[in-house]
């Protein structure tokens, strides 16, 4: 018989093979009654009772300690949970009032956005940049912004946004898309007017850019990066009447620290009343070496171009752009030494067009223009910038240096010849230097990898 009790093992046998009696079993287990045990038995192994007691005591203490510790942790957690309460606001969502722009009431940023976002448009253009090795046209695409000037679909943007475009697509805030027609533009002022066939569009309200002060709050809405459509950024006016020079063309700009990025070009700049006071030009938010800079944005003052915009909408070109009628040259020390002049800065007149504004005012070859209405003129760029403030028919006072003495001349600005005015009626498509105008049998500048890309993508 095999017995297992308290890890003690007893093996009891009888000679006749029968099961042992109860008394024999008890005697084998250490009992006092019954017959003697079997012929052979294995004595029980005595255990270290003291070690077992100590172990049991340790386990009991551990269990009790764990229970007590767990209770303490539970109590502490309950205390922390009761103290760490999260406050959730029950304030309802603020409803932005749709306010009208009246030029008298200052609006919040959200109200300005709500009042004008339907007047802002996203512009996408495409053009043929050239032809690949197989004579196939290569298309390019670009993006910009603009804003609605009139209910019948006239839209104002930058000239460089649509320059060279073969197709112009306009997208409204509600998702409506239109194919736009180029009406006209003025590259020297970087403005262009396009038109879509639509009626009852929401137009912007134009403001007086001359009322801006440094520190005024301004907002820009546009299409940054060509992807983040109808985004608004804000900042302050950093400078008014900032003269900058881009590729030899002078511009009078509003400087702002509002975030301006590629794709914002042509979009509106709003004052605190929700009026458009400038046309954003991201093209000029770069350093002189072409590196994009931070915290510098520029916009064309609305007052500088308003009359030209109306002229373009009416005639398709700027018919009243101020025109002097001279061939100018920037004066320098070498010219002064050659002609024995006492001035080394100004605009040297090398030719006067017959019957022009300059001719009628008595200007002649060899004169040096030094001031226009008190504004100092040192270079041709200075003269062009000063001329932008006038329209045909306006008058101005010029200070002229002549070898026999300085003179003051009163002039009435003329209008540029029609052929010069209309040369910008269609934007001139620009092709990169590494493209030929078509397949030329291997002549011209052609990308050698075009065939590889054609076959292998």
Give residue-wise pLDDT tens across range 96-137.
878 888 889 999 999 999 999 999 999 999 888 777 777 777
Give residue-wise pLDDT tens across range 201-252.
999 999 999 999 999 999 999 988 877 888 999 999 999 988 887 766 778 8
pLDDT category of residue 432 using cuts at 50, 70 and 90: very low
Neighbouring residues of 57: CB distance < 8 A, sequence distance ≥ 6: none
The rounded Cα 39 to chain-centroid distance in angstroms is 104
Is the pTM of the predicted complex or chain greater than 0.85?
Answer: no
In this prediction, residues 297-320 reach a mean pLDDT of 91
pLDDT at 58 > cutoff 90: no
CA distance 356 to 364: 11
- Work out the mean pLDDT of the chain and round it to a whole number: 78
pLDDT for position 370? 94
pLDDT at 374 > cutoff 80: yes
**Residues annotated as part of the active site:** 160, 190, 265
In this prediction, residues 317-340 reach a mean pLDDT of 88
Q: Higher-confidence residue: 443 or 218?
A: 218
pLDDT at 189 > cutoff 50: yes
Residue from 251, 213, 255 nearest 238 by CA: 255
pLDDT for position 39? 43
Give residue-wise pLDDT tens across range 337-352.
888 898 999 999 999 9
pLDDT at 396 > cutoff 90: yes
pLDDT at 279 > cutoff 80: yes
pLDDT for position 330? 93
pLDDT for position 270? 96
pLDDT for position 261? 85
pLDDT for position 193? 96
For 431-436, which contacts have Cβ atoms below 8 Å and span 24 or more sequence positions? 431/129, 431/130, 432/129, 432/130, 434/130, 435/129, 435/130, 435/131, 435/138, 436/130, 436/131
pLDDT at 155 > cutoff 90: yes
Q: Higher-confidence residue: 55 or 413?
A: 413
CA distance 94 to 97: 9
CA distance 47 to 11: 19
Phi-psi region of 440 (alpha: psi -120 to 50; beta: other; left: phi over 0): alpha
Percent of the chain predicted with pLDDT > 90 = 44
Q: Higher-confidence residue: 78 or 235?
A: 235
pLDDT for position 325? 93
* DSSP class of 418: H
pLDDT category of residue 139 using cuts at 50, 70 and 90: confident
Give residue-wise pLDDT tens across range 1-43.
444 444 444 444 444 545 555 455 545 444 444 444 444 444 4
The rounded Cα 315 to chain-centroid distance in angstroms is 34
Q: What is the DSSP string of 214-283?
A: TT-EEEEEE-GGGTSTTEEEEEEEEEEEEEEEETTEEEEEEEE-S---TT-TT-EEE-TTS-EEEEE-GG
Q: What is the 3-state secondary structure (H, E, C) of 46-113?
A: CCCHHHHHHHHHHHHHHHHHHHHHHHHHHHHHHHHHHHCCCCCCCCCCCCCCCCCCCCCCCCCHHHHH
């Amino acid at each position: 018989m095999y017995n297992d009790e308290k890890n003690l093992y007893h093996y009891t046998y009888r000679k006749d093979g029968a099961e042992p009696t109860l008394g024999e079993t008890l005697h084998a287990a250490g009992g006092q009654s019954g017959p003697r045990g079997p012929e052979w038995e294995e004595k029980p192994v005595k255990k270290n009772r003291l070690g077992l007691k100590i172990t049991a005591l340790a386990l009991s203490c551990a269990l009790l300690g764990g229970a007590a510790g767990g209770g303490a942790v539970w109590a502490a957690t309950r205390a922390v949970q009761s103290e760490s309460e999260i406050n959730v606001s029950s304030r309802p969502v603020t409803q932005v009032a749709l306010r009208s722009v009246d030029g008298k009431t200052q609006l919040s940023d959200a109200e300005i956005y709500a009042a004008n976002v339907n007047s802002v448009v996203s512009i996408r253009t495409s053009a043929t940049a050239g032809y690949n090795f197989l004579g196939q046209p290569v298309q390019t695409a670009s993006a910009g912004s603009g804003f609605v000037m009139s209910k019948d679909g006239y839209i104002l943007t930058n000239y460089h946004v649509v320059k060279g475009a073969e197709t112009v697509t306009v997208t409204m805030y509600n998702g409506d898309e239109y194919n736009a027609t180029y009406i006209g533009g003025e590259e020297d002022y970087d403005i262009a007017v396009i038109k879509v066939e639509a009626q009852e569009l929401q137009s912007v309200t134009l403001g007086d850019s001359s009322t801006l002060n440094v520190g005024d709050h301004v907002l820009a809405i546009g299409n940054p990066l060509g992807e983040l459509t109808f985004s608004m950024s804000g900042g302050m006016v950093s400078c008014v009447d900032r003269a900058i020079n881009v590729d030899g063309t002078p511009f009078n700009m509003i400087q702002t620290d509002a975030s301006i990025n590629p794709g914002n070009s042509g979009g509106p700049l709003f004052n605190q009343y929700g009026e458009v006071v400038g046309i954003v030009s991201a093209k000029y938010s770069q350093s002189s070496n072409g590196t994009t800079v931070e915290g510098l944005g520029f916009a064309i003052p609305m007052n500088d171009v308003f009359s030209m915009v109306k002229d373009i909408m009416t005639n398709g070109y700027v018919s009243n752009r101020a025109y002097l009628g001279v061939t100018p040259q920037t004066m320098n020390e070498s010219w002064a030494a050659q002609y024995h002049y006492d001035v080394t800065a100004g605009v040297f007149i090398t030719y006067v067009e017959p019957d022009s504004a300059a001719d009628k005012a008595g200007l002649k070859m060899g004169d040096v223009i030094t001031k226009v209405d008190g504004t100092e003129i040192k270079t041709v760029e200075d003269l062009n910038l000063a001329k932008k403030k006038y329209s045909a028919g306006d008058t101005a006072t010029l200070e002229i240096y002549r070898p026999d003495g300085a003179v003051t001349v009163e002039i009435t600005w003329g209008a540029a010849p029609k052929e010069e005015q209309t040369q910008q009626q269609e934007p001139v498509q620009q092709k990169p230097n590494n493209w030929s105008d078509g397949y030329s049998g291997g002549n011209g500048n052609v990308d050698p990898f075009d065939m590889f890309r054609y076959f292998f993508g």
